[in-house]
Amino acid sequence: MTTPRGPADDTADERATAGLNRSAARIGLRVVGIAVFVFYLARSGALWPFGVVPAAIVACLLCWLIWVVAGERLPGTAFLAMLGVPALFGSIVGAVPGRFELVIIFAIGGIVAIIARATIGIRIGIAVAVVCLIAFEIAALVQTDDLADWAWTTFGVVVAGFIGYGRRQARLVAEQTRQLIETQRQLLDQAEETRAVEASNAALAERSRIARDLHDVLAHALGGLVVQLDAAEGQLSVNQDVDGASKRLRRARALAVEGLDDARRAVTALRTDAPGLSAALRAMVNAYDAGNARLTGDAGAANVPEQVTDALLAVVREALNNSRKHAFGADVTVWLRIDHEVVRVDVANDAGTAGDLAATGSGAGIAGMRERMDAVGGKLQAGPAAGGTWRVSASVPLGSCGGAHK
């Protein structure tokens, strides 16, 4: 399978092409420079009659040719040899009257190249420059009395050292910049991967939340529907009780309608324009048909964060379902209030008669409500209260899940 190419691959190819072009340009310039220098030496008669000095010049030119071809691929020791020897030769012979061009080309060129190479210690480069300068001074004392040549070549060696150091620093800065850009690119890639993982985790969390919502909404209705249909089948097949079976079927139909309505409300709650907590609770209380239900509380809770709203609605929905199952016909009161940046919802029902759905529960209702609260940093309490009532209390600090009370 072929991996698709991306912008990063194209950028890498462009950098590689640019690097090859720069390398070819450097080699071309060096070759041209050597050719011009050889032509100049030939015209000046420095290469003949052939002797020690011309032979040394040819050897130095061969060293330079190797440097031009191999370039930065040469190991440090070989690099020093290819440029250090010609530099030292130029320093010695350059003191001879009429050989000033040798120190200019060989000595200065070699010193600049050695000091400029970042992989060679700066102390080694300075040592090469000092040795070349000392060699020139000794040769000048022995071979010439021309003070002007001595001054100019000394000045040239010193300037070569500064030029080489400047190029070295420029290369180091360029390398550090390249490494910084590469590091930033890697950090951007890692950030992109992190964002992708976070988006995937958020999608999985949202799917889990939707699954819990649908379970909370439909589980009691579908379970009750199965019970009613099974009871109707038994009454028809065993007792031939048509009236009882009809009653069971009407109840089953009511459960199906109720489940459909709850599913629609759950889908509505998933939309961005879903009502706030107060409005959603009022709609839920108004739709409660298993007894007298009423809502009291804080209308300003409409701006409770969405995560907290979803969790509290799920708790109230489960509490109302439990009231329908175990206290059918009893009065139910839902309280909503916000106090000191904590939103709290209480659902309490009086003692009542177990409904037809009492046997349909899975026994995991309270555990599911507690999981909802844990997910948003809230607390849940459920159990008998004074006066024979059953109370479910859920509270959530508004800042516990990244939201705030607006």
- Residue 362: the pLDDT is 47
Helix runs in 108-146, H state only: 108-116, 122-143
The predicted model gives 345-365 an average pLDDT of: 63
Are 351 and 327 in contact, with CB atoms under 8 Å apart? yes
How far is 406 from 402, CA to CA, in rounded Å?
A: 12
Range of weakest confidence among 189-193, 247-251, 258-262? 258-262
Which of the four pLDDT bands, split at 50, 70 and 90, describes residue 190?
very high
- Residue 357: the pLDDT is 47
Residue 383 token pair: 């159990």
Range of weakest confidence among 64-73, 108-117, 350-359, 363-372? 350-359
- Residue 345: the pLDDT is 92
Label residues 105-129 b or e (16+ Cβ within 10 Å = b). Answer: bbbbbbbbbbbbbbebeeeebbebb
Highest average pLDDT, of 20-24, 53-57, 221-225, 266-270, comes from: 221-225
Q: What is the mean pLDDT of the chain?
A: 72
Measured CA angle at 229 (ends 226, 234), to 5 deg? 125
Which of the four pLDDT bands, split at 50, 70 and 90, describes residue 104?
low
The predicted model gives 358-382 an average pLDDT of: 76
More confident: 101 or 163: 163
Q: Is the peptide bond before 49 cis (omega within 30 degrees of 0)?
A: yes
Distances in Å between the alpha carbon of 140 and those of 106, 158, 250, 254, 279?
16, 16, 121, 116, 101
Whether 290 has a pLDDT exceeding 70, the answer reads: no
- Dump pLDDT digits (tens) for 38-55: 665 555 555 555 455 566
**How many beta carbons lie within 10 A of that of residue 28, not counting itself?**
11
All structural domains of the chain: 7-192 (no CATH), 278-406 (3.30.565.10)
DSSP state of 2: P
Whether 335 has a pLDDT exceeding 80, the answer reads: yes
Residue 208 token pair: 């889990």
- Residue 219: the pLDDT is 67
How far is 332 from 348, CA to CA, in rounded Å?
A: 6
Please say whether the dihedral angle defined by the alpha carbons of residues 40, 41, 45 and 47, taken in this order, is positive or negative: negative
Q: Are strands 293-297 and 332-339 parallel, antiparallel or unpaired?
A: parallel
Residue 281 token pair: 């609770």
Helix runs in 45-75, H state only: 52-70
More confident: 215 or 42: 215
- Dump pLDDT digits (tens) for 225-251: 777 777 777 777 777 777 777 887 877
The predicted model gives 286-297 an average pLDDT of: 77
Q: First vs last Cα of the chain: how many Å apart?
A: 51
How far is 65 from 30, CA to CA, in rounded Å?
A: 9
- Dump pLDDT digits (tens) for 130-139: 777 777 777 6
More confident: 256 or 311: 311
The predicted model gives 280-307 an average pLDDT of: 76
In 324-368, beta strands by DSSP E: 332-339, 342-349
Whether 192 has a pLDDT exceeding 60, the answer reads: yes
> Taking the model in full, what pTM does it have?
0.42
Share of the chain above pLDDT 90, in %: 7
- Residue 97: the pLDDT is 56
Which of the four pLDDT bands, split at 50, 70 and 90, describes residue 406?
very low
- Residue 249: the pLDDT is 81
Q: How many angstroms from the chain centroid is the CA of residue 374? A: 28
- Residue 387: the pLDDT is 74
Range of weakest confidence among 96-100, 117-121, 321-325, 401-405? 401-405
- As beta bridge partners, residue 328 has 353
- As beta bridge partners, residue 297 has 336
Whether 376 has a pLDDT exceeding 70, the answer reads: yes
Residue 261 token pair: 């309505």
How far is 58 from 66, CA to CA, in rounded Å?
A: 13
